[in-house]
Amino acid sequence: MAGFITTEIVQTALETGLIYSLVALSLFISFSILDICDLSTDGCYTLGCAVGAVTAIAGHPILALFAAMGAGICSGFITALLQTRLGVPSILAGIIVNTGLYTINLAVMGFSSNLSVFGVDTVFSLIKEKNASPFWADWHKLIFLLVLLLAICLLIWWFMGTRLGLAIRATGDSPAMVRASSINPAQMITVGLCIANALTGLSGALIGQYNKSCDINLGTGMVTIALASLIIGETISGKRSMLGRILCVVVGSCLYRFIVSIALRLNVPTEAFKLVSAVIVAIAIATPQIRTLIDSYKKRQAAIAMRKQYQKGGNR
Amino acid sequence: MLKMIEISKTFHPGTINEKKALTGINLDLKDGDFVTIVGSNGAGKSTMFNTISGSFIADEGLIELDGRDITFEPEHQRSRYIGRLFQDPLMGTAPNMTIEENLAIAYLRTAKDPTAIFSRISRKEKDFFRERLALLNMGLEDRMKNPVGLLSGGQRQALTLLMATLVTPKLLLLDEHTAALDPATASKVLELTKQIVEEQHITCLMITHNMNQALDMGNRTLMMDSGRIVFDVEGPERAAMTVDDLLHKFAENAGQRLDNDRILLSGHH
């Protein structure tokens, strides 16, 4: 077993899992809390990567993270504007923004479909320089990401307990109640989507610096992958508190990456992953309905059996 | 207090489904008035509430509250001083949030400081919420960390009432807020309504299908029909009225439409 799952595999799964968990956290805010399916995630993720890569190549790897978050906020703002002020249905708003972002992303990358971030400083290389020990050389990425994610989780948890956070949660939970409480739901959706997309953008920038490359098709299917992580996370969290739910989303994302690593070890072709994620999401979301169907089938069978019994009794 | 001047509202104008929901409503409420409103289904009662609360803007006319023109003010701004309860007890609260969190959102209305939105619920506020919840006499003060979705309809409606009046509103709109509750719970929520409205001296409009309630509660009664206020009674004349008198008035105005209306069923008790 030790040979099958090496430390390296676990480490990579954790590192990428932590980076991807930012997108899962983004969907936690838009999908779980605001009850909005934000389909601009794919494009926004690539946008974050492109903006982050370009800024890092220009020599500002730390600024790159903030620039990517800023780009994500702009993207989220437009998605929100379309659905709250201009009457575009929310799913369509995401799709429109996603399509538009493809061109924007290409433009950011200087109309090339691929960028290399090799040979320049990244946040990871900057952190690696802090300490020369071999332990640090092996683990600096994971430690940095763990600290970053923990800080972000705590920040989200704190935010969700503030008046603004409560108002955003209520907007997804009971729009009528929100209007009756003198809160503008349009504003809350806008703030929520901006925060969510900032996280998506940050994730893109981190993965760009982690992989030292950026590709125009990087984000394709990201929303499904992140949803799969989110659902795994929500399943393990159950009815926990807000902080528990947030941390479980991160755990879910790492678990998902772990499953992917194992699949890689089993020589499952990478091309199959998107189908696998799609199946996981479909099954996870359909599970309650499937359960109801099975339940009602059982009840029917029981009723038929009872009728037979009853008829037998009547004939006697 | 509340002044409605020539308010009209037509749905689907110019189509085959055109419906004149309100036709020239004039209403002038005095401070502290508690007005009950009766009328058959489709008389325009809820439409009137919707124009007052800002759920939609009237086609014509003006609405003033406390001398301020609010005709075009959006709903979420009006809700700063207009509280509203619906027939559906599930509408006024967020089910997946705790009692405490729901109250905190309702309490946010008072916040004038722009940084208040980044504040979390303080101990002082918790104590205040606990104190107010205790007034409901439902034991909710010990369940403040429970999600509201776990409460019964009556408890949720009582909580909604508390939330609507946590910060004393200038005007309270009650849209048959006890109609979906069982009789015992309904009378309890009604009792609470009376108590809170009296204590805080809130001007109040209440739609009801119960003729007894219409005469029992408040100091003034309106009857609506086909988008108009057809009868408006207060003072000694109202005090002398019986349920039969009111039903009679109703029959005069509503004619044969009365036959299939549930008012008949709820009139006599």
pLDDT digits (tens, 9 = 90+) for B200-212: 999 999 999 888 8
Q: How large is the average pLDDT for residues A243-251?
A: 93
Q: How large is the average pLDDT for residues B159-165?
A: 92
Asked if B77 and A181 come within 8 Å (Cβ–Cβ), the reply is: no
- Residue in A174, A184, A190, A237 to test binding to B, most B beta-carbons within 10 Å: A174
How many angstroms separate the CA atoms of A59 and B151, rounded?
A: 57
Residues in chain B within 8 Å Cβ distance of A31 = none
Q: What is the pLDDT of residue A179?
A: 83
How many angstroms separate the CA atoms of B31 and B27, rounded?
A: 13
Decide if pLDDT at B260 tops 50: no
Q: Which band of pLDDT confidence, cut at 50, 70 and 90, is reported for residue B267?
A: very low
Asked if A181 and B116 come within 8 Å (Cβ–Cβ), the reply is: no
pLDDT tens figures, A153-204: 999 999 999 989 999 999 999 988 888 888 889 999 999 999 999 999 999 9
% of chain A beyond a pLDDT of 70: 98
Contacts of B76 (CB under 8 A, 6+ apart): A178, A179, A182, A183, A184, A185
Query: Of A158, A173, A182, which has the smallest distance from its Cβ to B77's Cβ?
Result: A182
State the pairing for strand pair B19-28/A114-116: unpaired
Q: What is the pLDDT of residue A275?
A: 83
**SS3 track for chain A:** CCCCCCHHHHHHHHHHHHHHHHHHHHHHHHHHHCCCCCCCHHHHHHHHHHHHHHHHHCCCHHHHHHHHHHHHHHHHHHHHHHHHCCCCCHHHHHHHHHHHHHHHHHHHCCCCCEEECCCCCCHHHHHHCCCCCHHHHHHHHHHHHHHHHHHHHHHHHHHHHEHHHHHHHHHHHCHHHHHHCCCCHHHHHHHHHHHHHHHHHHHHHHHHHHHCEEECCCCCCHHHHHHHHHHHHHHHHCCCCHHHHHHHHHHHHHHHHHHHHHHHHCCCCHHHHHHHHHHHHHHHHHHHHHHHHHHHHHHHHHHHHHHHHHHHHHHC
Residues in chain A within 8 Å Cβ distance of B164 = 180
In angstroms, the separation between the Cα of residue A241 and the nearest Cα of chain B is 10
- Residue in B103, B117, B150 to test binding to A, most A beta-carbons within 10 Å: B117
A306 in contact with B, Cβ within 8 Å: no
Residue B65 structure tokens: 């509250």
pLDDT tens figures, B124-143: 989 999 999 998 888 899 99
Counting every residue, how long is chain A? Answer: 316
3-state secondary structure of B41: coil
Contacts of A141 (CB under 8 A, 6+ apart): A15, A124, A127, A210
A161 in contact with B, Cβ within 8 Å: yes
Decide if pLDDT at B266 tops 80: no
Residue B55 · residue B86 · CB < 8 Å: no
In angstroms, the separation between the Cα of residue B259 and the nearest Cα of chain A is 34
Asked if B97 and A169 come within 8 Å (Cβ–Cβ), the reply is: yes
Asked if A166 and B104 come within 8 Å (Cβ–Cβ), the reply is: yes
How many CB pairs (< 8 A) connect A and B?
83
A182 in contact with B, Cβ within 8 Å: yes
**Sign of CA pseudo-dihedral A143, A144, A146, A147:** positive
Query: Of A158, A167, A176, which has the smallest distance from its Cβ to B105's Cβ?
Result: A167
How many angstroms separate the CA atoms of B248 and B38, rounded?
A: 13
As for the ipTM of the complex, it is 0.82
Q: What is the pLDDT of residue B269?
A: 42
In 10 A of CB A147, how many CB atoms?
A: 10
Q: Which band of pLDDT confidence, cut at 50, 70 and 90, is reported for residue A315?
A: low
How many angstroms separate the CA atoms of B212 and B249, rounded?
A: 14
pLDDT tens figures, A88-142: 999 999 999 999 999 999 999 999 888 888 888 888 888 888 888 888 888 889 9
Long-range contacts: A9-15, Cβ < 8 Å, 24+?
A: A9/A261, A9/A265, A10/A258, A10/A261, A11/A138, A11/A139, A11/A142, A12/A257, A12/A261, A13/A254, A13/A257, A13/A258, A13/A260, A13/A261, A14/A142, A14/A145, A14/A254, A14/A257, A15/A141, A15/A142, A15/A145, A15/A210
pLDDT tens figures, A189-244: 999 999 999 999 999 999 999 999 999 988 888 998 899 889 888 888 877 788 99
The secondary structure of residue B240, as a DSSP letter, is T
